Structure 1
Amino acid sequence: MILVYHLENKITEVVSRNNQEIKFDCKGAISAGLIRLAVAFPDEKIVWCHSAYKQHLALEKIEALLHHNKMMLSFRPKSNNFFDNSIGYVEESLFININKKVSYPTWQMSSYVGVIHTSVLNAVSDRIVCDPDFDYYLSSLAKLCMPLGLLCYSEPQLLKSVEIIDSPATASSFTLFRFVKQHYKTRWVFLLAFNLLLYERKILFYPFISALFTKRRFNNNINIDEIVVNSSRVITDKGTIDVIIPTIGRKKYLYNVLKDFSKQSLLPEKIIIVEQNPEPFSKSELDYIETEKWPFEIHHIFTHQAGVCNARNLALSQTISEWVFLADDDNRFDADLLKEVFQKIKKYGCKVVTTYYPQIGERKSHHKVIQWPTFGAGNSFLKKTILQHVKFNMALEFGYGEDSDFGMQLRNQGNDVLFLPEPSILHLKAPVGGFRTKPIMRWHNEKIQPKPSPTVMLYLITHNTKQQNLGYKTVLFFKYYKYQKSRNPFQYFKVFNKQWKQSVYWANQLKIDS
């Protein structure tokens, strides 16, 4: 392990893990210094730390925190980040609103403290410009490499305490616009300027014009596939797993799912089926649960209360194994699904994974293990111990976003969600079942219909920043403008604002009632 201490964008000291000085030419940018060290030490962890935090660095934890080589950790001991909240006008993803209390996935890296393996630096050494602004360089590296499989986190455990010793540097308006131009499509530069004018009454003409002459950075010439992943974290012991399946009106499809489970090379301990039928005097139609023999326990719950959130919460309360598989009643998969998933879980040392979940004929768009920006409630595997304080939000019942909300609950407890391109689970999207009878939402008879759906709005106001929601509002306005009968933008904006306010109102009502 190599420790690099810096102050005022200059390296001040380079030492080994046992505090032995490493002779090194400290001139030039910090980023360039890290690259030179990576060339000299191709199989080491490099820790960077602001000199003010030297005594606060939790050196004893770093080996366990960076538990495999394809990771990058940093932490900024302040509520804000290098890029201020204006970045939310550009990006709606969960990587923006960082929870500083837990390990949290993000590309927003910090110069104040962090760690990376030298193999990553060597892979990008001649692909990413060594920017003199260290914060900018680190965030650019993470932004470009996260889609390639580099796992990046804000990690508070890097410091023994989060005492703020000085005022951390922040990006200027010029730097913000330059970053957007270099890492996003050009239209986002225009949208950033428009949103700042619309919502903050800021006219940033010179940063906007300057950014337009900046060349975009791409990651298609970066290859980190050769970096070996072999986590030192022991994540599983018994390797037992329970499966939960909510179902409604899909007898034949569910039977095929159970048959697929019966052929598994690693069998589940228990399958919990929550069968829903809202008809008052209805009975179970799943006779094969009793008439056929199965190589696992089946716990069958029959309820007249429809709704997948309620069904999954019922099932989660009945799980006892080390792991839980959130499945669906119209999935199909190969005999080695569970075995292969556990192999990936051990390899990456992660507590939550979501598999590739194609429909028939769908082409694969992601081929690497990456930090997933959403969550799949029909194709995810979770460690049982992390489920104690999470549940599917009943306010989102019969709406949309209950799975994404559940994923955010997991992340806000420090559990990232990794996407596995292999193995895959085929999603048939069966034509029967589902909601069966379409529920009537409370806002159904409102004269002004909410837009977006209040359940979507509830997710936004719960998990996103104010700027992210306003940026979403702008995009939504332009998205639906072309479908309007009236081409008067001012008239449409007036109507749209009323619809937005209705959505906010009903989202808050859902929040109160949940």
Structure 2
Amino acid sequence: MIIVYHNNKHVVKVTSKDNEDLLHNSNARIATVITELALQYPESKIVWCNENYQNYLNLEAVRESFHHNKMMLSYNPNHTDFLGRKIGYIDQSPFIKINKHVTYPTWQMSSLAGAIHAKVLIEINQKIRPDSNFNYYLNSVAKICMPLGLLCYSERKLFTQDISLKVPQKYSNFTLFRFVKQHYRIRWTFLLFLNLMVFEFRFPFLALIYSWFFKNRNNENISLDKISTFSSLKTTHSETIDIIIPTIGRKKYLYDFLKDLSKQTHLPNNVIIVEQNTLPKSVSELDYLVSEVWPFKIKHTFTNQAGACNARNMALKEVESEWLFFADDDIRIEENFIESSFSFIAKYKSKVMTFNCLQKNQKTINKEIFQWVSFGSGCSIVKKEVVQDMSFDLKYEFGFGEDGDFGMQIRNKGHDIFYFPAPQILHLKAPIGGFRTKPDLAWNKDKVKPKPSPTVILYKILHETKEQMNGYQTILFFKYYSRQSVKNPIKYFFKFHKEWRQSLYWANELINKA
């Protein structure tokens, strides 16, 4: 382990894990120094720390939290990070609003304290420019490499105690526009400008023009595949697994999936089925659960209450095994799916995984294992300890957003969600099953129909920043225009805002009823 202490402009001291002073170029940029150190010590973790906080640096936490080479950690106790709150106008991901009290996935890095492996710095050497602003460089590395499989976290354990910044942070529109131009598609610079104009009555023309002097940094030549991801965490688990399946009116599709489960090389212990049928005095149609012999225990619950959130919550109470597979009733898997899943779990020591779930003839777009922006309630394997005190929020029932909300509950408990491109799941996208009635939502009878769904706004109120909400409103305004009948832009503007306000009203009503 190599520790680099700096004053935000230059490196002031470099030591080894044995506290031995190491030579360095005191006139070079901080990013250049850590790269040179990585080339000298290619098997080392490179740790950085602002000299004002070196007495609080927790090197033991680096050893514990940095459990494989394809990781990047940092911590900034301030509520707002380097780029400021305005980045939310063009980034709708869960990586913007960081929970500073837990280990939280994000590409927003800080120069106060952090760590990265030398092998990553060697791979990006001469591919990502070593900026004079160390904060900019760290954020650039994380933003570019996170989709390539670099696991990036805000790690509160990097400091031995809670600290506060001695110098208030300053935020620059020039830096923000430059970052957006270099790490997002070109159109986002214009959308950022538009949002600042509409929501803050600011007109940063110079910052917009300045950004056009910089090229996009997303580099297809960067590959982190050769860097080891074998985790040093010592964990023990039984690899027992239960399957959760909510179903309604899809008898044949469920049967085919149960047959897939019965042929698994690693069999589940329990298959927990919650069957729904809203017809009065109805009974189960799943006769094969009893008439056939299955190599696992089937826990079958029949209910007249419809709703996937309620069904999954009922199933969660029946879980006995150490792991659970959230599954849809219209998916198909290969016979080695569960066995292969556990091999990836053992390698990454991950506790939450969402798997590549494709329809027929769809092609895999994301081929790397990386930190996922959502959660799939029909294609994920989760360790029971993560969700044993959690539930799907019934406020989202029959709406949109329950998957995203459940994922945010997981992240805010300090757990990450990985996307695994393999093993794959085939999603048949079966037609809607029988026995369904149109849900009687509170806003169904409104003269002005809410747009978007109030549950979408509910998610954004609960889990995103004000800037992310406003940025989403701008995007929806343009996307929705071509899909609706009012083509007069002035009439459309007033219509859209009426629908948005109606959605906002009902979202707050859902919150108040909790």
User: How many Å separate the matches in 2 of 1:333 and 1:411?
Assistant: 27
The answer to whether the 8 Å contact 2:278/2:436 transfers is no
1:14-413 correspondence to structure 2 within 5 Å: 14-167=14-167, 169-413=169-413
Greater mean deviation of Cα atoms: 168-177 or 265-274 = 168-177
Residues 186 and 435 of structure 1, relative CA distance in 2, 3 Å threshold = farther
Q: CA deviation at 1:312?
A: 0.1
Residues 290 and 373 of structure 1, relative CA distance in 2, 3 Å threshold = same
Gaps of 5+ in 2: none
Q: Find the counterpart in structure 1 of residue 462 from structure 2.
A: 462
User: How many Å separate the matches in 1 of 2:274 and 2:143?
Assistant: 41
User: How many Å separate the matches in 1 of 2:332 and 2:170?
Assistant: 49
Which amino acid is 1:436 matched to?
A: R
1:434-449 correspondence to structure 2 within 5 Å: 436-449=436-449
The answer to whether the 8 Å contact 1:102/1:413 transfers is yes
Residues 337 and 170 of structure 1, relative CA distance in 2, 3 Å threshold = farther
Greater mean deviation of Cα atoms: 324-333 or 438-447 = 438-447
Which amino acid is 1:471 matched to?
A: G
The answer to whether the 8 Å contact 1:392/1:402 transfers is yes
Which amino acid is 1:142 matched to?
A: A
The answer to whether the 8 Å contact 2:277/2:435 transfers is no
User: How many Å separate the matches in 1 of 2:72 and 2:133?
Assistant: 18
Gaps of 5+ in 1: none
Which amino acid is 1:129 matched to?
A: R
Q: Secondary structure at the match of 2:102?
A: coil
User: How many Å separate the matches in 2 of 1:159 and 1:96?
Assistant: 21
Q: CA deviation at 1:225?
A: 0.9
Residues 171 and 165 of structure 1, relative CA distance in 2, 3 Å threshold = closer
Residues 485 and 264 of structure 1, relative CA distance in 2, 3 Å threshold = closer
Q: CA deviation at 1:267?
A: 0.8
The answer to whether the 8 Å contact 1:235/1:351 transfers is no
The answer to whether the 8 Å contact 2:3/2:15 transfers is yes
Give the RMSD, CA atoms, in angstroms.
1.3
The answer to whether the 8 Å contact 2:316/2:388 transfers is no
Q: Secondary structure at the match of 1:357?
A: strand
User: How many Å separate the matches in 1 of 2:408 and 2:297?
Assistant: 31
Q: CA deviation at 1:90?
A: 1.0
Q: CA deviation at 1:419?
A: 0.4
Q: CA deviation at 1:492?
A: 1.9
Greater mean deviation of Cα atoms: 411-420 or 232-241 = 232-241
The answer to whether the 8 Å contact 1:180/1:189 transfers is yes
| 1:35-66: CA deviation from partner (whole Å, max 9, x where unpaired) | 00000000110110111111111111211101
Q: Secondary structure at the match of 1:301?
A: strand
Q: Find the counterpart in structure 2 of residue 3 from structure 1.
A: 3
The answer to whether the 8 Å contact 1:234/1:346 transfers is no
Q: Find the counterpart in structure 2 of residue 513 from structure 1.
A: 513
Residues 500 and 302 of structure 1, relative CA distance in 2, 3 Å threshold = same
Q: CA deviation at 1:213?
A: 2.3
Which amino acid is 2:210 matched to?
A: S
User: How many Å separate the matches in 2 of 1:484 and 1:292?
Assistant: 50
The answer to whether the 8 Å contact 2:278/2:435 transfers is no
User: How many Å separate the matches in 2 of 1:234 and 1:260?
Assistant: 32
Q: CA deviation at 1:287?
A: 1.2
| 1:221-277: CA deviation from partner (whole Å, max 9, x where unpaired) | 111111111011234411111111001111111111111111111111111110111
How many residues get paired? 514
The answer to whether the 8 Å contact 1:398/1:435 transfers is no
User: How many Å separate the matches in 1 of 2:361 and 2:54?
Assistant: 55
The answer to whether the 8 Å contact 2:353/2:380 transfers is yes
User: How many Å separate the matches in 2 of 1:257 and 1:355?
Assistant: 16
User: How many Å separate the matches in 2 of 1:319 and 1:456?
Assistant: 29
Greater mean deviation of Cα atoms: 338-347 or 484-493 = 484-493
Q: Secondary structure at the match of 1:73?
A: strand
The answer to whether the 8 Å contact 1:269/1:296 transfers is yes
User: How many Å separate the matches in 2 of 1:480 and 1:303?
Assistant: 38
Q: CA deviation at 1:28?
A: 1.1
User: How many Å separate the matches in 2 of 1:268 and 1:316?
Assistant: 15
Q: Secondary structure at the match of 1:19?
A: coil
Residues 483 and 245 of structure 1, relative CA distance in 2, 3 Å threshold = closer
Q: Secondary structure at the match of 1:47?
A: strand
User: How many Å separate the matches in 1 of 2:39 and 2:447?
Assistant: 66
Q: Secondary structure at the match of 2:121?
A: helix
Residues 94 and 406 of structure 1, relative CA distance in 2, 3 Å threshold = same
Residues 489 and 317 of structure 1, relative CA distance in 2, 3 Å threshold = same
The answer to whether the 8 Å contact 2:279/2:435 transfers is no
Q: CA deviation at 1:482?
A: 3.1
Q: CA deviation at 1:75?
A: 0.5
Q: CA deviation at 1:435?
A: 7.8
The answer to whether the 8 Å contact 1:332/1:426 transfers is yes
Q: Find the counterpart in structure 1 of residue 13 from structure 2.
A: 13
The answer to whether the 8 Å contact 1:450/1:501 transfers is yes
Q: CA deviation at 1:165?
A: 4.2
User: How many Å separate the matches in 2 of 1:322 and 1:234?
Assistant: 17
Residues 506 and 165 of structure 1, relative CA distance in 2, 3 Å threshold = closer
User: How many Å separate the matches in 2 of 1:221 and 1:467?
Assistant: 33
Q: Find the counterpart in structure 2 of residue 433 from structure 1.
A: 433
Which amino acid is 2:469 matched to?
A: N
Residues 168 and 233 of structure 1, relative CA distance in 2, 3 Å threshold = farther
User: How many Å separate the matches in 1 of 2:89 and 2:336?
Assistant: 43
Residues 507 and 227 of structure 1, relative CA distance in 2, 3 Å threshold = same
User: How many Å separate the matches in 2 of 1:285 and 1:486?
Assistant: 46
Q: Find the counterpart in structure 1 of residue 418 from structure 2.
A: 418
Q: Find the counterpart in structure 2 of residue 482 from structure 1.
A: 482
Q: CA deviation at 1:310?
A: 0.3
| 1:363-396: CA deviation from partner (whole Å, max 9, x where unpaired) | 1101010111111001101111111332101000
Q: CA deviation at 1:162?
A: 2.3
User: How many Å separate the matches in 2 of 1:318 and 1:184?
Assistant: 44
Greater mean deviation of Cα atoms: 220-229 or 431-440 = 431-440
Q: Secondary structure at the match of 2:358?
A: coil
Q: CA deviation at 1:434?
A: 7.6
| 1:428-449: CA deviation from partner (whole Å, max 9, x where unpaired) | 1111428822213211111111
The answer to whether the 8 Å contact 1:73/1:115 transfers is yes
